[in-house]
């Protein structure tokens, strides 16, 4: 695998769809009254984002239906039934859900910045941010219920969306619980990551298969593809936090260590007898020295913990790609494989 | 109309269904992991509530299908199709949505008490309360998507639930906006009340008709019944705040005036030239005297503003009842009429 070529293909596929996705978001979530509410609700969606998840949805539709990428209308995509399906609406719905979770997460974590702009509860206020998130939540269901799919499939897509949202809430609650409890094992950590982050990738990959009327095994395979690659993505995030220089990372390198965040790396190191909480004395990322981080990373390297995380991410990625073997061997499927690779080879 | 007899019939109908509704809530929203999250999510639902809205849903199912009240299984209700429909699940779903809105509203308004117990963000913390509300939100969609109704109808019920939630958010945002803007007219106020409060009554009444496959006109009539009677209910709340003694009301009489809340009464009085904001000098309900409230109420009576609100509520109630004429003349319909009356004749 040539890493640069993979990255180029992925960024190309994302780039070719980004304007379509952005236009669809604008169509499906138009400005409305009360103005301040809808401005706050659209704020983060307008602030950008790669649109990787919507690209997964659109490619999954093309892979399942075995059509040439970008050859069919995403708003009226050919299904196994008479009805054409608006698979773009599904992509928008999931991106809207993602935006809702970011807004509420930023309130809960009291994070000031998101995507380089003030978080919604900072740009507006907490009340408006709660309400903007709640509005996106219902809008996502309105949009998902309106794809024109065969009703059985439309209803199943709504069910998947609802259970995905429940899982995300459970994952966020587990994350908070783990921070206070400690004493969790890697399997519990992986479940938390699956719930909090990966299920949305699972839904992004599987929903078009549901809407288009694919077999249950195809739906399940795409869902697991998303879970596996989304989990790998999150684990890679933990690796990058320790291994990428601060200026490239856009935040202090090693801030997870400073904040004593439970990561797969920390859990592994603790199992190896490393005093993880004692590795860095500073309690604020602004006060930590590069030398302190270097020493901490060296200790984690020596314990094999960073390699363990890398290998876990790599295994999950291989598993993700193997899930796709049930699909026809086509260009869209190949791009989905590339995306799985990209999620753990991206530099930051 | 005999007011006491009406009240007795309504409280009887509610009482006969309350245990069924409570058991169904427990079944459809069971305790789960993470425990703290689900405890917080179930907290207000367990704290009580009359279950008037679920009763409307169950009666509407019986009125539409023209079956004797309590003669059919709410979990497997006869529909126009082969599939029996779990209309109880629809009632639970809407009660779960109501609970979500209460939790988030209490955070936004920083209210400490709800139903005689601490608000969820006080009993737990704000982060848990946001997340508990978000969990109820998705659970409500899971429950509504699982009624066993014909898929077209199931999907339509989900659409109605989603647009109802959007409206509630818009109504809450309008309410906040009105508090700061002032200068609104009664029509704008009524729209806010419709969005914030009455749409949930509309959905409670109309959803069973959707699920059971009733004609569009029946769905629309029940929806408008709920909107009209729900709006009347909210306006009556404003009247009661001024006319019921504090000990019966459970809070300081006239607290809306003290807090300078925009109500239909205040808007009407201002149009009549009354200096509404100057009626009560106190800015905290704890510091206001009964004499001050008496004088303020006398001024509002003199301006005809309290009568105006009473008449508006009464007109809306009559309109609500007339909407039901499209239904067969049966016991359940008669109870729905009684509920509309009860919503504006209840003492507090």
Helix (H, G, I), strand (E, B), or coil: what is residue B82?
Answer: coil
Kindly report the average pLDDT of chain B as a whole number: 93
All residues of chain B having their beta carbon less than 8 Å from the beta carbon of residue A154 are: 151, 155
Give pLDDT, residue B80. Answer: 76
Whether the link from the prior residue into B34 is cis, omega within 30° of 0, is yes
Distance from C-alpha of B81 to C-alpha of B211, rounded to nearest angstrom = 10
**CB contact at 8 A, A120 and A87:** no
Element housing B117 (H / E): strand B117-118
For chain B, which residues lie within 8 Å of any Cβ of chain A, measuring from their own Cβ? 32-34, 36-37, 104, 107-108, 126-128, 130-131, 133-135, 137-139, 141-142, 145-146, 150-152, 154-155, 158-159, 161-166, 169-170, 172-174, 176-177
Instruction: Answer yes or no: do A138 and B165 touch at CB < 8 A.
Output: yes
Instruction: Report the relative pairing of strands B113-114 and B117-118 from DSSP bridges.
Output: antiparallel
Give pLDDT, residue B181. Answer: 81
User: CA geometry: angle at A343 spanning A341 and A348, to 5°?
Assistant: 125
Distance from C-alpha of B198 to C-alpha of B234, rounded to nearest angstrom = 8
ipTM attached to this prediction = 0.95
Instruction: Answer yes or no: do B145 and A127 touch at CB < 8 A.
Output: no
Give pLDDT, residue A283. Answer: 80
CA B232 to chain CA mean position, Å? 10
Nearest chain B residue to A33, by CA: B170
All residues of chain B having their beta carbon less than 8 Å from the beta carbon of residue A32 are: 170
Burial A111-143 (b: 16+ CB within 10 A, else e): eeebeeebbbbbbbebbbbbbbbbbbbbbbbbb
Q: In the structure encoding, which two tokens stand for residue A165, read together?
A: 């949202």
What are the φ and ψ backbone dihedral angles of A85, each rounded to 5 degrees?
-120, 135
The parts of chain A modelled with pLDDT lower than 70 are 1, 182, 348
Neighbours of A283 (CB within 10 A): 10
Q: Does domain A3-342 have CATH number 1.10.600.10?
A: yes
Min CA distance, B16 vs chain A (Å)?
32
Distance from C-alpha of B140 to C-alpha of B95, rounded to nearest angstrom = 8
Nearest-by-Cβ selection for A37 from B137, B158, B173: B173
Give pLDDT, residue A252. Answer: 81
Confidence of residue B285 (pLDDT cuts 50, 70, 90): confident
Per-residue pLDDT reduced to its tens digit, A91-150: 999 999 999 999 999 999 888 877 778 889 999 999 999 999 999 999 999 999 999 999
Residue with tokens 């699920």: B211
Instruction: Answer yes or no: do A145 and B137 touch at CB < 8 A.
Output: no
Give pLDDT, residue A250. Answer: 75
CA A313 to chain CA mean position, Å? 15
Nearest chain A residue to B37, by CA: A173
* Neighbouring residues of B268: CB distance < 8 A, sequence distance ≥ 6: B186, B303, B304, B305, B308, B309
Instruction: Answer yes or no: do B104 and A173 touch at CB < 8 A.
Output: no
**CB contact at 8 A, A7 and A345:** yes
Distance from C-alpha of B342 to C-alpha of B201, rounded to nearest angstrom = 14
Neighbours of B243 (CB within 10 A): 18
Distance from C-alpha of A42 to C-alpha of A132, rounded to nearest angstrom = 8
Distance from C-alpha of B122 to C-alpha of A333, rounded to nearest angstrom = 50
Confidence of residue B208 (pLDDT cuts 50, 70, 90): very high
Q: Does domain B3-345 have CATH number 3.90.580.10?
A: no
Nearest chain A residue to B162, by CA: A138
* Neighbouring residues of A26: CB distance < 8 A, sequence distance ≥ 6: none
All residues of chain B having their beta carbon less than 8 Å from the beta carbon of residue A139 are: 162, 166
Nearest-by-Cβ selection for B177 from A36, A134, A145: A36
Decide: residue A331, CB within 10 A, 0-12 exposed, 13-18 middle, 19+ buried. middle
Whether the link from the prior residue into A34 is cis, omega within 30° of 0, is yes
Rounded average pLDDT over B188-203? 96
Strand stretches in chain A, DSSP E: 113-114, 117-118
Q: In the structure encoding, which two tokens stand for residue B122, read together?
A: 């006080």
Residue with tokens 């082969």: B82
Question: When comparing pLDDT for B117 and B204, which is higher?
Answer: B204
Give the CA dihedral B120, B121, B126, B131, nearest 10 degrees.
10
Distance from C-alpha of B20 to C-alpha of B51, rounded to nearest angstrom = 10
* Neighbouring residues of A110: CB distance < 8 A, sequence distance ≥ 6: none
- Candidates A198, A221, A228, A232; CA nearest to A63 is A221
Residue of A81, A97, A173 for testing the chain B interface, max B β-carbons within 10 Å: A173
| Angle between helix A52-65 and helix A331-345 axes, rounded to 10 deg | 150
Min CA distance, B96 vs chain A (Å)?
14
CA A49 to chain CA mean position, Å? 11
Instruction: Answer yes or no: do B141 and A151 touch at CB < 8 A.
Output: no
Per-residue pLDDT reduced to its tens digit, B75-119: 999 987 778 999 999 999 999 999 999 999 999 988 887 777 888
Task: Output the CA torsion sign for A329, A331, A336, A338.
Answer: positive
**CB contact at 8 A, B8 and B14:** no
- Candidates A161, A179, A21, A38; CA nearest to A87 is A21
* Neighbouring residues of B19: CB distance < 8 A, sequence distance ≥ 6: none
Paired residues of A77 in beta bridges: A85
Instruction: Answer yes or no: do A165 and B104 touch at CB < 8 A.
Output: no
Min CA distance, A22 vs chain B (Å)?
22
Rounded average pLDDT over B276-304? 89
Residue B116, CB half-sphere, CA atoms under 13 Å: how many? 7
Residue of B110, B173, B196, B200 for testing the chain A interface, max A β-carbons within 10 Å: B173
Question: When comparing pLDDT for B132 and B244, which is higher?
Answer: B132
Decide: residue B151, CB within 10 A, 0-12 exposed, 13-18 middle, 19+ buried. middle
**Radius of gyration of chain B from Cα atoms?**
20
Length in residues, chain A: 348
Instruction: Answer yes or no: do B155 and A145 touch at CB < 8 A.
Output: yes
Give pLDDT, residue A148. Answer: 97
Helix (H, G, I), strand (E, B), or coil: what is residue A281?
Answer: coil
All residues of chain B having their beta carbon less than 8 Å from the beta carbon of residue A146 are: 159
């Amino acid at each position: 695998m040539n890493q640069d070529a993979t990255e180029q293909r992925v960024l190309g596929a994302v780039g070719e769809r980004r304007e379509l996705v952005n236009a669809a978001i604008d169509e499906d979530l138009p400005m409305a009254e009360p103005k301040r509410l809808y401005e706050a609700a659209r704020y983060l969606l307008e602030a950008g984002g790669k649109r990787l998840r919507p690209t997964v949805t659109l490619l999954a539709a093309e892979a399942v239906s075995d059509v040439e990428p970008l050859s069919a209308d995403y708003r009226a995509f050919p299904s196994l039934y008479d009805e054409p399906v608006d698979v773009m609406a599904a992509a928008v719905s999931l991106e809207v859900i993602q935006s809702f979770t970011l807004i509420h997460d930023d309130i809960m974590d009291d994070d000031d910045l998101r995507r380089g702009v003030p978080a919604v509860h900072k740009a507006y206020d907490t009340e408006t941010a709660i309400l903007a998130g709640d509005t996106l939540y219902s809008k996502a269901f309105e949009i998902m219920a309106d794809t024109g799919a065969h009703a059985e499939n439309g209803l199943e897509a709504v069910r998947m969306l609802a259970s995905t949202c429940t899982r995300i809430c459970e994952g966020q609650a587990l994350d908070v619980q783990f921070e206070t409890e400690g004493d969790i094992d890697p399997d519990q950590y992986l479940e938390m990551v699956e719930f909090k982050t990966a299920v949305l990738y699972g839904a992004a990959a599987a929903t078009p298969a549901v809407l288009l009327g694919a077999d249950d095994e195809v739906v399940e395979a795409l869902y697991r593809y998303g879970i596996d690659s989304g989990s790998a993505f999150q684990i890679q995030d933990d690796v990058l936090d320790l291994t990428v220089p601060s200026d490239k990372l856009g935040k202090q390198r090693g801030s997870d260590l400073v904040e004593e965040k439970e990561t797969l790396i920390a859990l592994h190191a603790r199992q190896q007898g490393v005093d993880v909480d004692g590795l860095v004395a500073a309690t604020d990322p602004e006060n930590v020295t590069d030398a302190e981080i270097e020493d901490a990373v060296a200790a984690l390297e020596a314990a094999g913990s960073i390699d363990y995380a890398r290998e876990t991410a790599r295994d999950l990625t291989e598993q993700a790609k193997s899930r796709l073997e049930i699909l026809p061997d086509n260009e869209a499927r190949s791009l989905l494989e590339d995306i799985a690779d990209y999620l753990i080879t991206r530099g930051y």
